[in-house]
Amino acid sequence: MLIPPAHDPMSSVFISAVGRTLAEFLDEQAGLADRTGATAVLDAAHACVAGGKRLRPAFCYWGYVAAAGRPIDPGPLLRAAASLDLLHASLLVHDDLLDGSDTRRGAPSAHRRFEALLPGPRAARFGEAAAILLGDVLFSWSAEMFENAGLSPEAVRRAASVLATMRSEVLLGQYLDVAAAFGATDRSTPRAQADTAEKVLEFKSARYSVRRPAELGATLGEAPPGLLAALGTYGSLLGRAFQLRDDILGVFGDPEATGKPAGDDIREGKRTVLVLTALENGDARQHDTLDSLLGTPGLTEEDLTTAREIIEATGARNSCEELIARSTTDALTALEGADMDAEGRSALITLAGLATDRDR
């Protein structure tokens, strides 16, 4: 593979290389899929890893470069980094099922894809069951891909605890997100709701999307404690900004760019930092109206427009934009005193902008 330049850390070359690496790994599973008669699962797996931002592999790859410089043979590192997108695909399959989402990246979500394979009244139930199993298979394959990436046994052992923590944090953060949407968390005070939203922001997204991937790559590169600490601060702050951007896009995003219907977060009743800020800032009428719309079945476009207008009018969107900017600045400040490879530093700075200034 051509090694991407630090000034363009998510170049088309890098994105294509990650995609090709994932496709090659899945192609290696064809024999198993044929023997078990589960080729539909493999077909769906290929569909799940097609496209995507490749953000987590990029933070892993450049976290390594920050610690150890460019690898002589980038192949093993690329395969290890790409395995994070198999993990991500597994979580998206389950996330879409939990949220009842019909599309992902402009194509049918996995449970809808399976549902279309079976006509009749049991099709929906089959789609749900098959999607659960697909997510489990992708989760298992992500571990297999990482462990067999060609890294040294010592490097795999060093990184094992980071990867295990990353997996556990995102799953528990996902549970908390689901519990909050269903009202199974403490809503007794605005502070209690904000605490839950902050934990979801940190564990479901910030650590999973940026911090742990960067730490994983740096650990593979034998980073010293000081650099790991700097990357941890950078990763949590930038990961929060990344998710806040996602929250804004989940309400105001263009479906042509995001690949998902606009307003899905309102339909799903997600009490994100964006929504909670609007509820807290709004007057009684705005609060009660927005609260009544969250998670209500059958919302119309007019209902979604009302929700957006309240979020805008209460200043919640502007507040989140300011928080994104502040968190990104603080994340970059965390890198300033750290001793790291110059190309790695340049790439991590560029990645900060790519993660937060986007429309999808």
CATH number where 95 lies: 1.10.600.10
Is 283 a member of any domain?
Answer: yes
- Domain hosting 35: range is 12-356
Q: Is residue 4 part of a domain?
A: no
Which amino acid, residue 23? A
Q: What is the pLDDT of residue 1?
A: 55
Query: Is residue 1 in a domain?
Result: no
pLDDT at 2: 60
Integer Cα distance of 16 and 305 in angstroms: 38
Our count of domains for the chain comes to 1
The Cα 149–Cα 137 span in angstroms is 18
Question: Is 21 within a domain?
Answer: yes
Q: How far is residue 289's CA from residue 266's CA, in Å, rounded to a whole number?
A: 12
> Could you report the per-residue pLDDT of 19-74, keeping only the tens digit for each?
999 999 999 999 999 999 999 999 999 999 998 999 999 999 999 999 999 999 99
Task: Say if 2 falls within a structural domain.
Answer: no
Q: What is the DSSP letter of 264?
A: H
**Six-digit token pair at 160?**
């094992």
Please tell me the distance from the alpha carbon of residue 4 to that of residue 12, in angstroms, as a whole number: 9
Tally of CA atoms within 13 A in the half-sphere of 130 that contains its CB: 24
Q: pTM value? A: 0.95
- The pLDDT of residue 303: 97
Residue 103 β-bridge partners: 108
* C-alpha span between 314 and 267 (Å, rounded): 20
In a domain, 7, yes or no: no
- Residues 266, 294: contact at Cβ < 8 Å? yes
The reply to whether 6 falls in a domain is no
pLDDT the model gives residue 44: 98
Q: How far apart are the C-alpha atoms of 133 and 278, rounded to whole Å?
A: 38
91 neighbors 170 (Cβ within 8 angstroms):
yes
The whole-number pLDDT of residue 137 equals: 98
Q: What is the pLDDT of residue 328?
A: 98
* Domain membership flag for residue 163: yes
Q: CA separation (Å) from 196 to 15, 166, 168, 285?
A: 34, 19, 17, 24
Amino acid, res. 112:
R
| pLDDT for the residue numbered 323 | 97
Which stretches of the chain drop beneath a pLDDT of 70?
1-3
According to the model, what pLDDT value does residue 39 have?
97
